[in-house]
Amino acid sequence: MTPEELAKAYTVNGEQPFTDAVQRKYKKNSNLCSIGEVEHNVYFVVSGIVEAGMIANKEDKIIEFVFPNEFTSSFSSLLSQQPSDVYLTCLTDCEIQIITFSKLREDSKTSLAASQFYIQSIEKAYLQRAKREKDFLTLSAEERYLKLVETRPEVIQQIPVFRIAKYLGIHPDSLSRIRKTKFTNG
């Protein structure tokens, strides 16, 4: 998606709520947001993969992988302006569009276009999170893995197996067993 297409995506009823998104390149392992930092931005992934996670009992728990054409942020920190519980790390080299949230939030108080754009964004973020929670509550690790393969076949190639296992909350050996069972005759 080019910056022009992106600008178009931001348009609501022909009006552009904000135009100050900046595109930056990040090296693999760069942090977009660190734990303890207050989040100020929304990130739109142009290329690469971002990993979102948190630390529990000194271990990192992977919450999600974010792919091109998807938005991400440490939304709870962004909305509450409290230190982030979540880290956002570039799993690969990435190109990211950075949107300053405070401007959008301010604009939404005086512009219906901005408020509609903001409402759409937060609705999307909410639905994404609800879907993730539903999968977590209702699917087995194997089912979550198959869903990931189906919706995001590129994950398999670009994300180290031990990080996928961590995302699924299982041991890498269990993931190997699932992969072997499902794909050797496939």
Residues that bind a second copy (CB under 8 A): 54, 56-57, 61, 63, 75-76, 79-80, 85, 108-110, 112, 115-116, 118-119, 122-123, 125-127, 129-134, 136-139
Nearer Cβ to a second copy (138/151): 138
CB of 154 to a second copy, least distance (A): 25
CB of 126 to a second copy, least distance (A): 5
CB of 103 to a second copy, least distance (A): 15
Nearer Cβ to a second copy (75/145): 75
CB of 128 to a second copy, least distance (A): 10
Amino acid at 41: N
Nearer Cβ to a second copy (25/131): 131
- Name the nearest CA neighbour of 72 among 114, 129, 112: 129
Contacts of 81 (CB under 8 A, 6+ apart): 38
Q: Give DSSP secondary structure letters for 3-55.
A: HHHHHHHT-BTTB-S----EEEEE-TT-EEE-TTSBP-EEEEEEES-EEEEEE
CA 121 to chain centroid, in Å, comes to: 13
Nearer Cβ to a second copy (5/133): 133
Amino acid at 154: E
